[in-house]
Chains A and B, each alone.
Chain A
Amino acid sequence: EIVMTQSPATLSVSPGERATLSCRASQSVGSNLAWYQHQPGQAPRLLIYDASTRATDIPARFSGSGSGTEFTLTISSLQSEDFAVYYCQQYNTWPLYTFGQGTKLDIK
Chain B
Amino acid sequence: QLHLQESGPGLVKPSETLSLTCTVSGGSISSTSYHWGWIRQPPGKGLELIGRIYYSGSDYYNPSLKSRVTISVDTSKNQFYLKVRSVTAADTAMYYCARIPLDGPSGVFDYWGQGTLVTVSS
In the bound complex, residues from chain A placing their C-beta under 8 Å from that of B89 are none
A46 to B111, CA, bound (A): 7
User: Interface stretch among A35-43, A61-69, A70-78?
Assistant: A35-43
In the bound complex, residues from chain B placing their C-beta under 8 Å from that of A32 are 107
Instruction: Report whether over half of chain B's contact residues are helix, strand or loop; otherwise say mixed.
Output: loop
- Residue of A with least CB distance to B63: A96
Chain A, 33-54, CB within 8 A of any chain B CB: 34, 36, 41-46, 49-50, 53
Residues of B within 8 Å of A, CB-based: how many?
23
Check: B14 CB closer than 8 A to any chain A CB. no
A91 to B45, CA, bound (A): 20
Check: A98 CB closer than 8 A to any chain B CB. yes
- Residue of B with least CB distance to A31: B105
In the bound complex, residues from chain A placing their C-beta under 8 Å from that of B111 are 43, 46
A88-100 vs B, Cβ < 8 Å mask (1 yes, 0 no): 0101101111111
Check: B69 CB closer than 8 A to any chain A CB. no
B36-80 vs A, Cβ < 8 Å mask (1 yes, 0 no): 000000000111110010000000101100000000000000000
B46, B63, B109, B114: the one contacting A102 at CB < 8 Å is B46
A88 to B65, CA, bound (A): 22
B49 lies within 8 A of A98 (CB): yes
Check: B81 CB closer than 8 A to any chain A CB. no
A43, A46, A101: the one contacting B108 at CB < 8 Å is A46
A43, A94, A99: the one contacting B47 at CB < 8 Å is A99
A101 to B112, CA, bound (A): 18
Smallest beta-carbon distance B70→chain A, Å: 16
B108 lies within 8 A of A49 (CB): yes
- Residue of B with least CB distance to A34: B108
Could you pull out 6 A-B pairs where Cβ atoms are within 8 angstroms? Answer: A34-B107, A50-B105, A91-B107, A96-B49, A99-B48, A102-B46
- Interface on A for B, CB 8 Å cutoff? 32, 34, 36, 41-46, 49-50, 53, 55, 87, 89, 91-92, 94-102
- Interface on B for A, CB 8 Å cutoff? 4, 45-49, 52, 60, 62-63, 96, 98, 105-115
- The 3 A-B pairs of least Cβ separation, nearest first, read A91-B107, A99-B47, A101-B46
